[in-house]
Amino acid sequence: MNLRPEQLAAHLEGQLAPLYVVHGDEPLLTIEAGDTIRAAARAKGVTEREVLMVTQHFKWEEFGLAGGNMSLFGDLKLVDLRMPTGKPGRNGGEFLTRFASELDPQGGVITLITLPLMDWAARKASWFVALTEAGVTVECNAPDLAGLPQWIAGRLARQQQSAERDALVFIAEHVEGNLLAAHQEIQKLGLLYPAGKLDTAQVEDAVLHVARYDTEKLRVALVEGDAARCARLLEGLQGEGAAAPLVLWALANEIRTLANIRAAIDAGQPIDSALKNERVFGPRQQPFKRAAQRLRGATLRAALMHAARIDRMAKGLTDGDVWDEFLQLALRLRAA
């Protein structure tokens, strides 16, 4: 069973599953999901918890013993296994696969396994497949910018508050990439204002600019042709003192990939095959498909030449404002 974080509480009102696998790229949601499962276990009579951290020299037999040893008083037990790297190694993978196949729903032990974001390749690992098929999986990824206002609205509703659409968008743009900060800003609104509807002026007065900009978000915005978001991210990266060569590498790498895909399509190659050859997999495929279909080969070749000119600027070989040129480069690929 696969659940979204917002579905977890309702699921836990029923009988607890013997295994929960929590993974994702958002620490706040991962922590909250784990806390929710642990609280539900305590409410249902689980009185003992054993925490195991998988480090370089972790002995997997400890996990086996933790699951095999009932509470000293015969009560229910929670085994809390945390794997920060998401890589159990060969022995650990075999151990987890065997554990999943031998899982006993009536054994009196509930296991919670916490992992980081599992990419498309890691999700195909036999141990991960075995765990997700045997238990309940909760994927805790941060909402994208388009879905962030709705997420914020849901959090405000928990504290009996609501806000105008413009106010929700304002908060989203100012906390993008930093969900923990978003959580803190929402809590602050609950302390500053009473229950009810917040207007945009109240929100603007209270919310700090706590967005965390990074080149990965810039790459996504570039491929999607979102010029306004590119401008905002570039401004943030410049303000944070990001290295211009790193930003250029991020932009040029995506443009080069798009150019290769477009060239392959123009040569008669199916788009799925072109994406595979450029190692574009998983969630990245749809944005690249749309971009490759939207942009002409000549546009992408000109963009690569523009990137080469920016490289010369960054090295001091020619005059120009590198950050302004980054924006002009992004505008070349904007969606209509």
The pLDDT score that the predictor gives to residue 68 is 65
Amino acid at 251: L
d(CA 211, CA 156): 19
SS3 sequence, the chain? CEECHHHHHHHHCCCCCCEEEEECCCHHHHHHHHHHHHHHHHHCCEEEEEEEECCCCCCHHHHHHHHHCCCCCCCEEEEEEECCCCCCHHHHHHHHHHHHHCCCCCCCEEEEEECCCCCCCHHHCHHHHHHHHHCEEEECCCCCCCCHHHHHHHHHHHCCEEECHHHHHHHHHHHCCCHHHHHHHHHHHHHHCCCEEECHHHHHHHCCCCCCCCHHHHHHHHHHCCHHHHHHHHHHHHHCCCCHHHHHHHHHHHHHHHHHHHHHHHCCCCHHHHHHHCCCCHHHHHHHHHHHHHCCHHHHHHHHHHHHHHHHHHCCCCCCCHHHHHHHHHHHCCCC
Which residues, at least 6 apart from 14, have a Cβ–Cβ distance to it below 8 Å?
Answer: none
pLDDT 10s digits, 237-267:
888 888 888 899 989 999 999 999 999 999 9
Please identify every stretch of the chain with a pLDDT value under 50, giving residue numbers as ranges: 71
pLDDT 10s digits, 131-165:
999 999 999 988 888 889 999 999 999 999 999 89
The neighbouring-strand residues paired with 23 are 139
The pLDDT score that the predictor gives to residue 77 is 87
pTM recorded for the entire structure? 0.64
The pLDDT score that the predictor gives to residue 6 is 86
Half-sphere exposure of 106 (CA within 13 A, CB side): 0
The pLDDT score that the predictor gives to residue 1 is 85
The neighbouring-strand residues paired with 78 are 49, 110
d(CA 326, CA 44): 56
Contact yes or no for 80/50 (Cβ under 8 A):
yes
Question: Which residue's entry shows tokens 């309702």?
Answer: 10
Rounded to 5 degrees, what angle do the CA atoms 91, 96, 102 make? 125
Structure-derived torsion over alpha carbons of residues 28, 31, 34, 35, reported in degrees to the nearest 10 = -100
Could you give the maximum distance between any two Cα atoms of the chain, in Å? 76
Question: Which structural domains are found in the chain, ordered by start?
Answer: 2-139 (3.40.50.300), 148-206 (1.10.8.60), 215-332 (1.20.272.10)
Contact yes or no for 54/92 (Cβ under 8 A):
yes
The pLDDT score that the predictor gives to residue 321 is 92
Question: Which residue's entry shows tokens 């080149």?
Answer: 215
d(CA 325, CA 315): 14
Q: Cα dihedral sign for 232, 237, 243, 246?
A: negative
Number of CB atoms found within 10 A of residue 236's CB: 19
Closest CA to 77 of 112, 33, 36, 108: 108
